[in-house]
């Protein structure tokens, strides 16, 4: 039964190496070398995932790399799954300019750009100095007040969503990364309620 459940989960998974459904990039049987032939040496797509795109190390990922960024070639070990080129990710691919980092379409909820997620938006990171209430001289709200409230509401939704995902990850005690080891148990077990005896 366990194998059946694993297969059911992988049916909807899209491989970032060959763009076919049914397997992940680390298990890809269709990895192609730069010459376009099947890569007989590796056989699987493990070389595409779990490496640092900046220095090529398999001991850490890009988020933990301590090597200085080379402005001329910031990600020399990255491989793009859109054009199969080296040196950039799909979000920066010239053939993927219309979708950006959103493979199924979409954009940042706050500013509408396709180059970053809403949780990384610069508008969200700005200090709330401009959010102070200012009394005007008129008795009606200004024309931009609706925009302000709409933006504030979207910003709160994004913050609430990112806080919820952070809380869920912390409660599950899941470590992220390709070589993170075994996932720990699903949080701590709740303490049983104390029994109260009345005389």
Mean pLDDT of the 27-46 span: 52
Mean pLDDT of the 48-58 span: 81
Question: Given this model, what pLDDT does residue 35 score?
Answer: 42
Question: Given this model, what pLDDT does residue 155 score?
Answer: 78
Q: Give the tens place of pLDDT for each residue, 19-36.
A: 677 887 777 777 654 444
Residue 121 lies in a domain: yes
Q: CB-based burial of residue 17 (10 Å sphere; 0-12 exposed, 13-18 middle, 19+ buried)?
A: buried
Residue 123 lies in a domain: yes
Residue 31 lies in a domain: no
Question: Given this model, what pLDDT does residue 172 score?
Answer: 66
* Bridge partners for 32 per DSSP: 38
Residue 166 belongs to domain spanning: 107-179
Locus of tokens 């376009």 = 36
Q: How confident is the model at residue 89 (pLDDT cuts 50, 70, 90)?
A: confident
Residue 199 lies in a domain: no
Residue 72 lies in a domain: no
Share of the chain above pLDDT 70, in %: 66
CA 57 to chain centre: 21
Residue 131 lies in a domain: yes
Question: Given this model, what pLDDT does residue 197 score?
Answer: 86
Q: Give the tens place of pLDDT for each residue, 128-176.
A: 445 445 444 555 555 556 666 777 777 788 778 777 777 777 766 555 5
Higher pLDDT, 25 or 75: 75
Residue 68 lies in a domain: no
Instruction: For residue 10, report the phi and psi dihedrals to the nearest 5 degrees.
Output: -80, -10
- Answer whether residue 69 shows pLDDT above 50: yes
Residues in CB range of 87: below 8 A, 6 or more apart: 73, 75, 76, 78
Number of domains in the chain: 1
Q: How confident is the model at residue 41 (pLDDT cuts 50, 70, 90)?
A: very low
Residue 100 lies in a domain: no
Residues in CB range of 89: below 8 A, 6 or more apart: 53, 75, 78, 80
Q: How confident is the model at residue 106 (pLDDT cuts 50, 70, 90)?
A: confident
| Length, in residues, of the chain | 199
pTM of the model: 0.43
């Amino acid at each position: 039964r366990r194998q059946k459940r694993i297969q059911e989960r992988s049916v909807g998974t899209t491989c970032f190496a060959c763009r076919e459904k049914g397997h992940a990039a680390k298990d890809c049987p269709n990895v192609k070398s730069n010459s376009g032939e099947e890569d007989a040496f590796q056989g699987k797509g493990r070389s595409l995932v779990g490496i640092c795109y900046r220095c090529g190390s398999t001991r850490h990922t890009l988020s933990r790399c301590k090597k200085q960024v080379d402005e001329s070639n910031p990600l020399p070990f990255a491989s793009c799954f859109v054009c199969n080129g080296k040196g950039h990710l799909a979000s920066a691919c010239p053939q993927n300019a219309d979708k950006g980092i959103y493979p199924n379409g979409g954009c940042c909820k706050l500013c509408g750009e396709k180059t970053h997620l809403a949780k990384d938006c610069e508008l969200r990171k700005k200090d709330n100095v401009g959010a102070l209430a200012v009394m005007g001289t008129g008795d009606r709200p200004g024309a931009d007040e609706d925009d302000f409230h709409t933006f504030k509401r979207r910003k709160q939704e994004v913050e609430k969503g990112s806080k919820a995902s952070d809380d869920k990850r912390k409660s599950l005690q899941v470590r992220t990364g390709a070589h993170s080891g075994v996932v720990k148990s699903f949080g701590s077990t709740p303490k049983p309620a104390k029994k109260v005896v009345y005389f």
